[in-house]
Amino acid sequence: MFAALTGLLASSCAGQDTPAQNGSPRTSASQDQPAPKQPSEGEPAQSSSKQNQPAQDQPSQNQPAENQPSQSPPAPSSSKQKQPQQRQAPQNQPAQNSTPITLDNSETIFSVLTALNTCGYDLDLAISDPTRSNVRAEVQRNIQGSAEARAAQAAVCDFYQRHVAVRDANRNLSQYISLALYMDGAPHFMPRMKEEELPPDAAAIAGFGTLMEHFYEKAGLHSIWERHRRDYAEAVRRYHEPLANMVLDTEVYLKQPSAQYLGRTFTIYLDFMGSPNETDARNYGAAYYVVVFPAPNTTSESALKMNQIRHTFLHYEMDPLADKHYSSIKRLEPLLQSVQRAPLEESFKTDISLLVTECLVRAIEIRTTGHKVEEAMRAQAVDDAVKQGYILTRYFYDAVVAFEKDPAGIRGEYGGMLENVDLRKEEKAASLVQFASVASPELVRLSRPEERRMLITAEKRLAAGDPKGAQELAQAALDRKIGDQGRALFILAEVAVANKNRDGAQDNFQKAIASSKDPTVLGWSHVYLGRILDMKEERDAAVEHYRAALNTGGELPEIKAAAERGLERAYEPPAKPQPQ
């Protein structure tokens, strides 16, 4: 009786595609897009507030670019900005002063955030740049004058309210920024890749693009964007010099140019339509993004969020070194046991590479915080970091003090820093730490393509008739907290179906519903629970799940059709074919 359900579940996985090899979004040549063109060797990255060029799908090579002497640093590329005179830069710069750093704005991000501003996103509106209120007022006038615009707004706002991921308004906004970075630009706003290839937070709201396209047209967002281009250009001008100085100072300290590795990009987007108290930073493979919401008419580093930008930039510089020294970092894995009581985000408790890199980044930040900061204040900052769970911060702080006196760059010294960690000494020191009750949240959100690929591979193995292999991968993802935990549970439920374990399937589908925000996982889990309950002759309970499927995944045609069939009549597996 379970054979038909097994076939239906397998067919839902058979259409999965292999994810794109490059984690960074691409752009359209005709539109202003979030993702910059990735520079080829010796070619400066170009950016314009009017037009961005197509990105090149270049995987990170983790190889140094061909080095040529240069007397000036790779200043960030920005709209119509001349590179300011700078101090002596690190030697061995790439040819023609190429830079992977871009400072710009994006009509796509502007449009998405503007839409959310019409739907109740008011965080810190009173202290935002006047441009935000002006844009909101102009949009509101357009909406009031058009019934079609009001209908488009209602559809967008209904979607927004039904996909609230968390109660924190900025965290909820973050998923829309994530999606915007993967969108085709105006006027279409469609994701440039398959839903399963998107970061988990973006995948959960992939259907937003269709609604956004209609709202963009009916609310006249393009004309509003054009009217405020000068405001955005002025913001880019304000940030250009402080950003160039931050890049230079960091490169001088690390003795390493930012173009050290080919195929890596660092992009800062400025937009007025979010809270000036917030910053959104993320890493997609070889691409790093920071979205900043400028405060009104200020040039102070704290108001410009330069510390947050620098934190992300340090990850941009340090992350590839961690990848290159995987074996040396893996030796330190026993330290993960020492931080299980710490108030760290779960990823730092399960991935030693993330923990080591964050400790080093924080040590560098503390060491380079202002020339007038007393050493006692730096020592206190180190102690605070250790108590939050970043237990190697003190070791790396001492290591970078020694590094400052050595002519070698961080690329040459990094391996030695790792090899000199006395594991037993650090484990003992960590055992004596009285951890704080809370830790400051990490700024940079990660989306690792290889981790997303683990669940995609599990689905492919199940579709190919290898439930054991699928189960091993899904269970590994669950144990290591990789990717969407609800999706991993959904795959385990599918495996149980394949193995004719109806109770196991029912249990894991229910767990998937409790763990996931993904409409696909939620919708299909309810459909399959309805079918299982129909086969148990529990029709009333089955109907409730079919209705839940329409509410959670009804925007997806396949789920809608399956749920409506379940409501019309109880599920009955097809009769087995009779032998000839």
CATH number of the structural domain spanning residue 536: 1.25.40.10
Least confident of 23-32, 75-84, 247-256: 23-32
> Which whole number is the average pLDDT over 5-28?
33
Q: How many residues does the chain have?
A: 580
**Angle at CA 463, nearest 5°, toward 460 and 467?**
90
If you average pLDDT over residues 106-120, what whole number do you get? 96
Same domain, 434 and 331: yes
* Closest CA relative to residue 313, chosen from 285, 270, 283, 346: 283
**In sequence order, what DSSP letters do the residues of 268-330 get, joined into one string?**
EEE-TTS-TT-EEEEEETTEEEEEE-PPTT---HHHHTHHHHHHHHHHHHHHHHHHHTHHHHH
pLDDT of residue 448: 55
- What's the mean pLDDT when you consider all of the chain? 80
Task: Give the pLDDT score at 7.
Answer: 37
Residues 418 and 456 in one domain: no
* Claim to verify: residue 485 and residue 425 sit in the same structural domain: no
291-305, 469-483, 495-509: segment of lowest average pLDDT: 469-483
Tokens standing for residue 265: 């990009």
* Domain identity same for 211 and 118: yes
Final residue of a structural domain among 210, 230, 250: 230
Regarding whether 495 and 426 lie in a shared domain, the answer is no
Say which range, 190-204, 279-293, 372-386, has the weakest mean pLDDT: 190-204
Which of 417, 445, 473 is where one domain is finished?
A: 445
Alpha-carbon span 127 to 122, nearest angstrom: 11
In a shared domain, residues 522 and 564: yes
**Higher-scoring residue by pLDDT: 499, 195:** 499
pLDDT score for 55: 35
Whether 374 shows a pLDDT value over 50: the answer reads yes
Q: Is residue 74 assigned to a domain?
A: no
- Would you place residue 75 in the very low, low, confident or very high pLDDT band (cuts 50, 70, 90)? very low
Residue 45 falls inside a structural domain: no
The proportion of the chain whose per-residue pLDDT surpasses 90, expressed as a percent, equals 54
- Asked, for residue 274, whether it belongs to a domain, the answer is no
Residue 242: CB atoms within 10 A of its CB come to 15
Of 314, 332, 334, 322, whose CA–CA distance to 415 is shortest? 322
* Phi-psi domain of 66 (left: phi exceeds 0; alpha: psi -120 through 50; beta: other): beta
Q: Are residues 389 and 455 in the same domain?
A: no
**Does 250 reside within a domain?**
no
**Which pair of tokens denotes residue 524?**
């299909």
Q: Which of 209, 230, 251 is the last residue of a domain?
A: 230
> Are 513 and 433 found together in one domain?
no
What are the φ and ψ backbone dihedral angles of 261, each rounded to 5 degrees? -120, 135
Q: To 10 degrees, the CA torsion angle through 354, 355, 361, 362?
A: 150
* Confidence at residue 451, expressed as pLDDT on a 0 to 100 scale: 57
Classify residue 419: in a domain, yes or no: yes
Tokens coding 333: 């894995």
At residue 452, does pLDDT exceed 60?
A: no
293-330 pLDDT, tens per residue? 999 877 777 889 999 999 999 999 999 888 788 788 98
Q: Which residue has the higher pLDDT, 480 or 180?
A: 180
pLDDT at residue number 531: 94
Number of domains in the chain: 3
Minimum mean pLDDT among 57-61, 200-204, 558-562: which range?
Answer: 57-61
For the residues 325-348, what does the mean pLDDT come to?
91
**Does residue 561 form part of some domain?**
yes
Residue 475 shares a structural domain with residue 532: yes
Report if residue 157 sits inside a domain.
yes
Assigned domain for 375 exists: yes
Who's near 58: CB < 8 A, 6+ residues apart?
A: 22, 38, 40, 262, 263, 286
Considering only CA atoms, give the Rg of the chain.
26
Confidence of residue 134 (pLDDT cuts 50, 70, 90): very high
> What domain range includes position 525?
3-14+448-568
Question: Do 332 and 441 lie in a common domain?
Answer: yes
> 464 with 364, same domain?
no
* 440 shares its domain with 481: no
Bigger pLDDT: 554 vs 282: 282
**Higher-scoring residue by pLDDT: 177, 298:** 177
Q: Is the pLDDT of residue 113 over 70?
A: yes
Q: What are the backbone dihedrals phi and psi of residue 227, each rounded to the nearest 5 degrees, phi first?
A: -70, -25
Answer whether residue 199 shows pLDDT above 50. Answer: yes
